[in-house]
Amino acid sequence: MPLDFFDKIDSHLEKELPFVAYRKPNEESVKAIFQNDDGLLHLNDYSETGFVFAPFDSDAPAILLRLDEVLHLDAFPDKTNSPSKNIGEEPGEEQHAFHLDLVKKGIADIKAGKFDKVVLSRSITVKTDTAPLSLFQALLHQYKTAFCYLWYHPKVGMWLGATPEILLTFHNRKLTTMSLAGTQDYTDNVNPTWGNKELEEQQLVTNYILKALEGKVSNLERTPTESVKAGALMHLRTKISGNATQENLGAIINALHPTPAVCGMPKGETKAFILREENYDREFYTGFLGELNFKTERNRNTRPGNTENNVYRSISKNTTLFVNLRCMQRINDTIQIYVGGGITKDSDPEKEWGETVAKSKTMLKVILATE
């Protein structure tokens, strides 16, 4: 008898073989991709097909999972699962002081004209012995509008997350991306108002994306900027779209990643600042992940009233990539939660600290719901 969806994931975990399980935003079905050996494949040039998992540091290799076996679960049963316990990390004063210093250094470099915006982050360690599958199921329960995933490779590690941010989608020559930045707490039925700091922070991302796509994407369009909910937070979002060719896909991804929503502007200077000044390795946090060149087959009719001879099969490719935010890494019986925020000349270090605390609750809620 074939194994059921979650049994198959458990069995792959037991055999220490690579897989990813995920659900796209607002979709019902959950998908899992299994690689049947533990080979570590690196992405070459974006012409390949597979599930890609790329680190923040765009000079480090991205990993590709082969689609040896693909399983679908039609729907995951609904259950609202809100933990009653009061959630929150208990950060050491040392971590707090380090982050304030880091943010102050960022603000000083912005004021000195070295860059316009930088995203600074930290990691939080939480002890838990909850099974990975329970954490994934809690993600699915809690975050319907996010891209929820559990990714595992025995030679790399295990990551989980519920990200609100699309890096890009590409299908039938149509490319879409988004500028997502600016954060405030979500309050029921209240239309958020945004301060200048957040508006500028998000505008810088939009400008950067539009410029990065110039010459690579034609018919560029953008929607008006709107407020979107992500867990218990709100962000500012502008959707950007246009037409592109398959040959340009790699160049477009390289031009976008890492965007100033996770790195800064200009890219080179801020990436160097982050790698030098943050006291830890982001690894896959603020990298990207998703389906690369997945094939869909369709039967098409060449003419109305056609005969069978006029039916041909067309194969199109789909790419759907997400920025790896609101994520955590499971290392034995501990979990590392990763959180950051955009710093501009108007940032207040203590408020920026508070924003990372608020963002950490997205994953802390999941851990608490499973304990």
**Tell me, what amino acid is at 130?**
T
Determine the interface stretch with ligand ISC among 143-151, 181-189, 246-254, 292-300 (rule: CB under 6 A).
181-189
Minimum gap (Å) between residue 30 Cβ and ligand ISC: 23
Burial of residue 91 (CB within 10 Å: 0-12, 13-18, 19+) is middle
In the bound state with ligand ISC, the residue whose beta carbon lies nearer, of 32 and 124, is 124
From the number of C-beta atoms within 10 Å of its C-beta (0-12, 13-18, 19+), residue 130 rates as middle
Q: What is the separation, in whole angstroms, between the first and last Cα of the chain? A: 32
Using the contact rule CB under 6 A, the part of the chain among 58-66, 207-215, 275-283, 338-346 near ligand ISC is 338-346
Question: What is residue 317's three-state secondary structure?
Answer: strand
Least separation in angstroms between residue 183's CB and ligand ISC is: 4
- DSSP annotation string for 244-256: --GGGHHHHHHHH
Interactions with ligand ISC, residue window 222-261 (CB under 6 A): 235, 261
Pairing relationship of beta strands 226-230 and 288-301 according to DSSP bridges? unpaired
When binding is defined by CB under 6 A, the residue of 161, 290, 340, 349 that contacts ligand ISC is 340
Q: Are strands 19-23 and 147-153 parallel, antiparallel or unpaired?
A: antiparallel
Nearer to ligand ISC, 24 or 359 (CB): 359
Please report whether residue 50 would count as binding ligand ISC according to CB under 6 A: no
Q: How many CA atoms lie within 13 A of 56 on its CB side?
A: 28
Q: Is the dihedral of CA 66, 68, 69, 70 positive or negative?
A: positive
Residue choice 33, 54, 110, 339 for contact with ligand ISC (CB under 6 A): 339
Q: Least CB distance from residue 177 to ligand ISC, whole Å?
A: 14
Q: Which is nearer to ligand ISC, 267 or 359 (CB)?
A: 359
Q: List all residues 6 or more positions away from 305 whose beta carbon is below 8 Å from its beta carbon.
A: none
CB 174, CB 241: distance < 8 Å: yes
Q: How far is the CB of 216 from ligand ISC (least distance, A)?
A: 23
What is the chain's length?
A: 371
- Give least dist CB 57 to ligand ISC, A: 15
Among residues 181 and 253, whose Cβ is nearest to ligand ISC?
A: 181
Taking alpha carbons only, the member of 57, 301, 245, 19 closest to residue 154 is 19
Closest CB to ligand ISC among 43 and 367? Answer: 367
For residues 182 and 287, which CB has a smaller minimum distance to ligand ISC in the complex? 182
The residue type found at 44 is N
Residues touching ligand ISC, count (CB under 6 A): 17
- As measured in angstroms, the least distance from the Cβ of 203 to ligand ISC is 13
Residue 311 CB, nearest approach to ligand ISC (Å): 46
Binding site for ligand ISC (CB under 6 A): 119, 121, 165, 180-183, 235, 261-262, 325-326, 339-342, 359
